[in-house]
Chain A
Amino acid sequence: MSIQPRQPIGKLLMSLNRRILYLILIVVSTVPLFFQIKVPDKPDDSTIDMYSKLMSLPEGSTVLLSTGWTYSTRGENKGQFDAILKILMRRHIKAALFSISDVTAPKVAIEEITELNMERQKEGKKPYQRWSDWVSLGFFPNGDGTANAMSVSLVKAFEGKQEVAPNGSVENVFNSPVLKGHDSISSIPLLIGVESTSATTTYIQKLGGKVPIVFAVTGVMGPEALPYYSSGQVSGLAIGLKGALDLETLMQYGINNPGPNGVVMVPSQHHAGVVPGFPNDKNYGTGLAYFPTLHVSLALLILAVLVGNIGMYMQRRGW
């Protein structure tokens, strides 16, 4: 029997089977989900501004809600979208839903509203009603043209769009309580974009300065959207999973808002004044559920990078 020469450690580390790494990643991305691990969260200024903007909207007003996400970015956008919708629902703010990014996005958004309505009904609250509280304007394939038309006239931009009224008849969306009287973009207090694409840039280019804008974007889109926040082109910005958790935290504690024990959980020097939260409601969702697991996964990544570099160094040295 021949004795196999022992492989150098460097070579062993560099020849680690990628399937083992995938398996470790899946285990690491799953196990923490079963435990309630608390990770402290200090909301970013950009998300604080977004929350305060949403909370300053007059009750009963109508916002334009652009949805550009589907299941491919559900990990980040679902948490953001749910948080925004919960605020709109609780503050009785109406929403006109549309998309210029993805043909399936309005369908995904409608399913999300249905899910949140089921939650509201379980809690004994009035559901967010289609037609009277929200309408779906559908998908617009020519984003540039649509945003351009919106800047001129909402009636022209959404002409021909219909919804089913409570009496069963198919009606023009401008007959609904949501869009009635909103002929011009200037009558809309806020455009909210929950996006995973560069639709954000389209809105800035075509509607910048004509309507206040806030965005909730994926981590990939964050660096592209940040200059818009920094320069004041958007009034608020939630980025990635952290943005989703920030919104949930702000819903729970408010801004500069003393809790029952007198302690301010989210103090902000950036935002003057007190903005209340919704401490008696169910505020946390996927933002809180995923955030600790993300930390564990990132720790694995850092470890893998270290092991890879050490392995490469050792291999070069022949160790």
Chain B
Amino acid sequence: MSYQNYLVYRMGAGVLATIGFYSVLYRENKFYRFFEHMYIGLAVGYSIVALWTETLHDLWWHRMLGAHAVPGANGVPGQPATNAHWAWMLLLPIGLLGYTVFNKKYNWLSRIPIGMIIGFNAGQQIQIWFNQYGPQMKDSMRPIFPTTIKSFFVPDTLHMATKQAAEVKNTVYASQAINNFLFVLTLTCVLSYFLFSFDVKSKVLRGMNTLGRWLLMVGFGAIFGSTVAMRFTLVIDRMYFIFIEFLKQGVFHR
């Protein structure tokens, strides 16, 4: 069997599975259940093998046992012997303690590895938090007043000399200032919506609070729209796979 034929047969299996999964749209059926169970079985089997080949073997077993020196050959440099680190062995019982969560009597032991993981992560939180939000906080400080009234919009810099283009970049035009103002207003209103610690009595604050809720809804709507577009793309991709890749380019083009 040629490689091309093999690819078509392999795609055929994929097409069958796709139709099997989509058949649930008509109604619950055994064809769908068969492929669902097959998928779960494959995923679990693959994950177990990959757990060893991709993770435990390279990152734990190999480090625990060390390696002999490998002489270089055919332009590929050799590698020196590495020491065995038997301390890695201790990770096995600690890791296995996690599974005691399934036993009523000994499930308290599972807290040991969980505690270690939480401890490692908690120690890094300050750095993590600042790395994630620090630059965003800095970016929130935007100028809301224009620095020039020569032009409302940002001039076209495509055909400008470098010096002039740099000058345009360092100037705040009215259109940019409006954008920045909308950004700062949204940020402030949305933040004020989350003031739950005290009773909001000020009319201004209550107005901002309401506006914040509306702006959040607009944001969620945009996110939902993006999500829907993505789901459609997944359907389109499956149809492309069945009709173009399998049938047009595979079966009828051999």
At the interface, yes or no: B70 with Cβ under 8 Å from chain A? Answer: yes
Q: How far is the CB of B142 from chain A (nearest CB, A)?
A: 10
At the interface, yes or no: A59 with Cβ under 8 Å from chain B? Answer: no
Interface string of A89-109 (1 = CB under 8 A from B): 000000000000001101000
Instruction: Determine, out of A1-9, A49-57, A184-192, A198-206, the stretch whose residues face the partner at the interface.
Output: A198-206
Instruction: Determine, out of B54-62, B144-152, B189-197, the stretch whose residues face the partner at the interface.
Output: B54-62
Which B residues are in CB contact (< 8 Å) with A33? 236, 239-240, 243-244
Residue of A nearest to B154 (CB): A269
At the interface, yes or no: A303 with Cβ under 8 Å from chain B? Answer: no
**B135 to A231, Cβ gap below 8 A?**
yes
Q: How far is the CA of A145 from the CA of B116 in the complex (A)?
A: 13
For chain A residues 280-308, which have a beta carbon within 8 Å of chain B? 286, 289-290, 293-294, 297-298, 301
**B135 to A139, Cβ gap below 8 A?**
no
Q: How far is the CA of A227 from the CA of B227 in the complex (A)?
A: 17
Q: How far is the CB of B40 from chain A (nearest CB, A)?
A: 14
B: interface residue count bin: 35 or more
For chain B residues 86-144, which have a beta carbon within 8 Å of chain A? 120-121, 124, 128, 131-132, 135-136, 138-139
By DSSP majority rule, is chain B's interface helix, strand, loop, or mixed? helix
A: interface residue count bin: 35 or more
Q: A139-B50, A140-B55, A297-B232 are in contact. Are A166 and B243 (CB under 8 A)?
A: no
Residue of A nearest to B240 (CB): A33
Instruction: Determine, out of A19-27, A60-68, A120-128, A246-254, the stretch whose residues face the partner at the interface.
Output: A19-27
**A227 to B50, Cβ gap below 8 A?**
no
At the interface, yes or no: A209 with Cβ under 8 Å from chain B? Answer: yes
Instruction: Determine, out of B73-81, B198-206, B209-217, the stretch whose residues face the partner at the interface.
Output: B73-81
At the interface, yes or no: A160 with Cβ under 8 Å from chain B? Answer: yes
The 5 A-B residue pairs with the shortest CB-CB distance in the complex, in nearest-first order: A75-B237, A219-B230, A75-B233, A231-B139, A167-B74
